[in-house]
Every structure is written in structure tokens, then in C-alpha cells.
Amino acid sequence: MSSEERTLVSVQIAGEEYNLRALASPEYTRECAAYVDQTLSQIMRQGSLVQMHKGAILAALALADELFQTRRALQELQGDVNDRTQALVSSIENRLTLQDPAAAL
């Protein structure tokens, strides 16, 4: 399958069937749809008077919050990795300089 070829995938969200054309694999598309369905189901169970479209908006907000928190955590981890990498590089350079006095010239 080429990188531009879309596949038709049937998924269920909140009891409704949707036929999606996706660039991702059918398995991944179904996994995403199941996650959305699970999030929406949790929202709907929490407030029995919530209308479906309002539940969908609340689910979207919950998913956006999860996305933003995950991005923030990833950025922090990347910063930690960069800091540790710089510290290791400096340590290695210092040790190499101490082992080779000619390199200090």
C-alpha cells in the first residue's frame, strides 16, 4: 500500500457506525475509534443528563487535555535527555583532555 493510499474502515462510536477513509492501518484506525468511544462512554456515564453532542464535546476536551499533558511531559523528557547528553559529552571531553596532556595545548 502506498503512503497516499487510503483504506475504508468501519468503526463504531457511541453505537453509531462510521465508515472512515484513513491513511493509517485499519487496526490503528479501529484502535483510535475504540479509544474515542471509551472516552465518550465514560463521559456519558458520569452525567446521565448529558446530551450526546455535549458529551462528544466534553470527550474531545478530555482527549485534548490528555494530548497536551502528554506533549508537555515529552518536552520535559526531551529536555532532560538533552541536559544529560550535554553533561556526558562534557565529562567525556574533560576526561580525554586529562588523559592526553598534548590535547590541552
The tens digit of pLDDT for each residue in 33-53 reads: 999 999 999 999 887 667 889
Q: How far apart are CA 34 and CA 48, in angstroms?
A: 21
Are 30 and 22 within 8 A, CB to CB? no
Q: How far apart are CA 71 and CA 68, in angstroms?
A: 5
Stronger pLDDT, 102 or 64, i.e. the higher one:
64
Which DSSP state fits 104? G
Stronger pLDDT, 103 or 65, i.e. the higher one:
65
Residue 88 grid coordinates: 556526558
Query: Among residues 16, 11, 18, 14, which one has the least CA distance to residue 55?
Result: 14
Residue 47 grid coordinates: 452525567
Q: How far apart are CA 103 and CA 10, in angstroms?
A: 65
Q: Where are the domains of the chain?
A: 7-104
